[in-house]
Amino acid sequence: MGRQRSRIEVVERQISVVDHDMEVLFAELGMHVLSLRQPFITGDAKQAYQSLLVEKSALDDLDARILHLRQLGQSLQDASSRISKLKDMIDEHWKSLRVVFGRIGVIAWEEASSGVLSEVVRAILPHIEEMQEKAAALRRTKETVSLKSRESPSVLRLPLKLREMLITRRLDRFAKTHEEFFINTGKDIAEALLIKHLGSGSAVELDTQYHKLTRDIAVWQEEKDMLRQRISKDKSSLEEVGVAGSVERKVMELQGLRKQQSETVTHLAIGYGKLICKMENPWKQVDVTAETLRCYDQIRRHERIRAQLQDRIGDLHLEQQIGELILLVEEDENRIAHLRQLIDQYSRQIEDIQKDIGHHREQIVDLKQTLAKNLEREEL
């Protein structure tokens, strides 16, 4: 019986698989017919069609909204990544520009010191001579104090040493400010388009570098500004559709709603597909696609397979019942044999008891005769 039950369970699992496949095919058929130019909207199918159409439209709206949000989110992400990259590129170019400005400033400083600086350049650098005079004055003062310190007695040397140290510190500070001075000077010359007016052989190269760097920065800055405008526009679009926070979180929320809506559409499509399959010759005068016919034929094939499996289940149940009845007959036959065996035993016991009864009756007769003889003797 266990083997028979196992065979029935195997067929039942096969039927479950067929049922699942049929549900998928019914849903597929319903969706195919929904998209036909002439869908079924008569009789029982009318309400099923209308319900499916409404829910499918709602599902499409959710899909469109999710796609739109994803595109906006990707656009924002791409724009932010590009802006970050542009910022790094612009920063690197500004570092290179500072180097170029510094070299230009040093050249202008050296030419001014040598008295060969172009007048047109000198005109836009009113402080360069003043800076040179300050630096020269500090160096002269340090040399003077240092000389006095070496020539003075040891008692007077300490104040001079302190003064020399203070001047040295001022020179150090002046040297540190020189770097920014050179950069600012070079920047003024470059922005005035006067690099080529310098006498250095590096002037042409520096001019080329300056224009290339500034051109790249300008292009990237313009792109960055445009991307910022696009981000602002995309954020406004998101606010218009009710997204104030994370786009990804909103997409996940809509995906949850879409899952529920998809289940509703699938359920309605299955019902619609089943109604179509109940119709007699449903494709009469209907412009149907090959894909729809293929799906319909698969459903009919699965129905035949399911019917065969159901018949097999019926046969297996009959075989199971026959087996159970055979088992019951065998059990009854065994009981009868057992009872017959008991009857034979009891019959033999009866015969033995009957023999004992006969023997005991003979003894009673003999004893009565003996008793009668004894009584007769006593009377005599």
Give the span between the Cα atoms of 112 and 132, in whole angstroms. 9
Average pLDDT estimate for 169-177: 60
What confidence tens digit (pLDDT) does each residue in 206-239 have?
A: 999 999 999 999 999 999 999 888 888 877 777 6
- ∠ CA 53-260-12 to the nearest 5 degrees? 95
Mean pLDDT score of the chain, rounded to an integer? 84
pLDDT at 252: 86
Q: Tell me which H or E stretch contains 273.
A: helix 247-278
For residues 111 and 188, is the Cβ–Cβ distance under 8 A? no
Give the span between the Cα atoms of 212 and 206, in whole angstroms. 10
Give the span between the Cα atoms of 59 and 46, in whole angstroms. 20
The tokens for 267 are 């359920």
Average pLDDT estimate for 133-161: 59
What confidence tens digit (pLDDT) does each residue in 250-284 have?
A: 888 888 999 999 999 999 999 999 988 888 777 77
What confidence tens digit (pLDDT) does each residue in 313-342 have?
A: 888 888 888 888 888 899 999 999 999 999
CB neighbour list of residue 142: distance below 8 Å, 6 or more residues apart: 164, 167, 168, 171
Average pLDDT estimate for 125-136: 66
How many residues comprise the chain? 380
The DSSP code for 38 is S
Residue type at position 186: G
Kindly provide the b/e burial profile for residues 9-46, where b requires at least 16 CB atoms within 10 angstroms of the residue's own CB.
Answer: eebeebbeebeeebbbbbbbbbbbbbeeeebbeeeebe
pTM metric for this prediction: 0.59
Of the candidates 140, 132, 136, 120, the residue with the CA atom closest to the CA atom of residue 192: 120
> Binning pLDDT at 50, 70 and 90, where does residue 151 land?
low
- Calculate Rg over the CA atoms of the chain: 57
